[in-house]
A and B are shown apart, each in its own frame.
Chain A
Amino acid sequence: MGYKSFDEINEKIRSKKAVVVTAEEIIGIVDEVGVEGAFREVDVVTCGTFSPMCSSGAFLNFGHSDPPIRMSKVWLNDVPACAGLAAVDAYIGATELSESRGMEYGGAHVIEDLIAGKKVRLRATSYGTDCYPRRALEAWITADSINEAYMFNPRNCYQNYGAAANTSDRTIYTYMGTLLPKLGNVNYCTAGELSPLICDPFYRTIGLGSRIFLGGAQGYVAWQGTQNNPSQPRAENGVPIGGAACLALIGDLKQMDPRYIRAAVFEKYGVTMFVGVGTAIPLLDEEMVRHVAVRNRDVKTKIFDYSVARRSKPALAEVSYEELRSGSVQVGSRTIPTAPLSSLKMAREIAQKLKDWIVRGEFELQEPVASLPREGSPQALENYEGE
């Protein structure tokens, strides 16, 4: 069995000889020429996903005014940002809500507006110090008028995720969308066979430092995602059945494209952000070919009952992405219509765009500087008081 290294593949990318296909295209190639043939012919497979990811936000540094201010409270278009950092640093979280407009505008909209080049109103207050005497400030900023603006998303790019339904008598509004009563619909939220961590289930090629597509720019994997859960039970092909690992991502907001970062409002839930992520998987060996050629019918997840507002929700059924994509699934004796929340059309566009970058020699693969953990589960919060 042969082996191709990151260096060999990058050499091919530099000389514009790399053969790159998407994680959907590789399936047909494996069908035609087999795993061995695909390994010989193809160097890189690209993946994409475009889903609402709440755990997202951006670090901003506004620059110093004269006289200077040590900002202790910061608002951007009336959305509070976390300013518990150095004088003019702040973090704007995607789900933070506007103090004047409530759920219709939030941190994700501020981020989208900044990426779109729009002016954003900065308001800051301070208690004043000898070195930073100013106590209040208002200014217009844009992504270009401030120093750094980089997205840092503590948890993105989930490796699979549970689907959602509602067995109660009333419509419920969740981060998994509107769930109609009495199993009126099933919503699901991954790109399935095109999804980055489904195609590399044991994180052999993705790790800390991996270069990725993030919001239309080149970004990096910064860390494992929060609530990382690689110990989730797996199917025989290695793909976890339900939410498992996830990634913390970083990238330059100033280089991003609003097409791939979109603010979203889920009714009666709040604000979140669609984040476009793409990864490039080097086909190091035949095992990687088998992983990236995974099919929707072999990617399974569970449907959870979101009417049970508890930490553990009961699973109603286990289904494959082929079934979910077909438009309806079987739960017991009933056929329930399905709808995605994650845009497959955009995920395909991202995988295609990343493929074009690599083919043109504009995007080289970065070998991970450290591996992601293959074991571990999140802990629950216990010992709390009150309700």
Chain B
Amino acid sequence: MALQKSTEVNGGICDGTCAAANARTHAGVDAGTSPTGTAEKRIKALLTYPPGAVGKPITYSLVRQFDLWINILHAEIAADKAGRLIMDILGDASDIDRGLAFLEDEGIEYEILNGSALWDEDRCVHCGACTAVCPSHALTLDKNDWSLAFDREKCYLCRLCTRACPVGAMSTPI
């Protein structure tokens, strides 16, 4: 996939529609409190936009219609091509389900990302090649002993490291 633009978006503008989403995001995704206080859930999802769907105000709808809190973690978007968006979604479990159903109706494939990438420590040679591409800063080199440090909490399974690692030490659970 030759992307026109491959940018890390963390609370920034991605598909041109998420300014509103980010306004909500900044208000409190880190506080961990749901807007309504009921069965709150937090998921990470990978959205794959088919070509042509990129212009749709998806994030805006998720925020407005389903009252979800959204943080864009990673975006690879091109106007005329397929795109990938990884987002942190926080909200009522039922609202999340409705939001995901809406995505399906809009023809956008999604995948719930569970857990983190897998790091085969024995295979790893601590070269650092993966740290160049990891957008979440889950992968970093320890500045003292120069070994790779993997903060699984930060990982959002974008899979860039699995392709960048020259010795096949990074993989994904699925």
Residues of A within 8 A of B (CB): 50, 52, 169-171, 177-178, 180-181, 185, 187, 262-267, 272, 274, 327, 337-346, 348
Contact = CB atoms under 8 A, between A and B. Distances in A.
B129 A177 contact: yes
A337 B164 contact: no
Given A343-B146, A346-B125, A263 B167 contact: yes
14 contacts: A52-B166, A171-B6, A177-B164, A180-B133, A181-B5, A185-B132, A187-B132, A265-B167, A266-B166, A272-B166, A327-B143, A337-B132, A340-B129, A341-B128
B168 interface: yes
A339 B166 contact: no
Interface string B112-135: 000000000000011111011100
Given A52-B166, A266-B166, 14 more contacts: A50-B127, A170-B3, A177-B166, A178-B163, A187-B129, A187-B132, A262-B167, A265-B167, A265-B168, A338-B132, A343-B125, A344-B126, A344-B146, A346-B125
Contacts of B160: 178
B83 to A, nearest CB: 14
Task: Give 6 closest A-B pairs by Cβ, nearest first.
Answer: A339-B132, A264-B166, A345-B126, A344-B146, A340-B128, A185-B132
A275 to B, nearest CB: 11
A345 B149 CA distance: 12
A339 B6 contact: no
Interface size class for chain B?
Answer: 20 to 34
Interface in B64-101: none
Nearest to A50: B125
A178, A185, A274 interface centre (most CB from chain B within 10 Å): A178
Nearest to B122: A259
Nearest to A347: B146
Interface string B56-68: 0000000000000
Contacts of A263: 167
Given A264-B167, A343-B126, A346-B125, A177 B132 contact: yes
Nearest to B125: A343
A181 B6 contact: yes
Contacts of B3: 170-171
Interface string B137-174: 00001010111000000000000100110111000000
Given A343-B146, A344-B146, A346-B126, A265 B166 contact: yes
A341 B88 CA distance: 31
Contacts of A185: 132-133
B133, B164, B167 interface centre (most CB from chain A within 10 Å): B133
Interface in B2-40: 2-6
Contact of B141 (A170, A181, A340): A340
B109 to A, nearest CB: 22
Given A264-B167, A265-B166, A346-B125, A339 B131 contact: yes
B5 A169 contact: yes
Contact of B129 (A50, A170, A178, A345): A178
Contact of B127 (A169, A180, A343, A348): A343
Contacts of A181: 5-6
Nearest to B160: A178
A180 B132 contact: yes
Contacts of B4: 169-170
A178 B125 CA distance: 17
A178 B133 contact: yes
A340 B167 contact: no
A184 B51 CA distance: 25
Given A265-B168, A267-B163, A274-B167, A341 B129 contact: yes
Given A180-B133, A345-B146, A274 B125 contact: yes
Nearest to B126: A345
B158 to A, nearest CB: 13
A168 to B, nearest CB: 11
Contacts of A337: 132
B142 to A, nearest CB: 9
Contacts of B6: 170-171, 180-181
Contacts of A180: 6, 132-133
A178 B5 contact: no
Nearest to B161: A178
Contact of B128 (A52, A266, A272, A339): A339
A338 B141 CA distance: 11
Contacts of B131: 339
Contacts of B126: 343-346
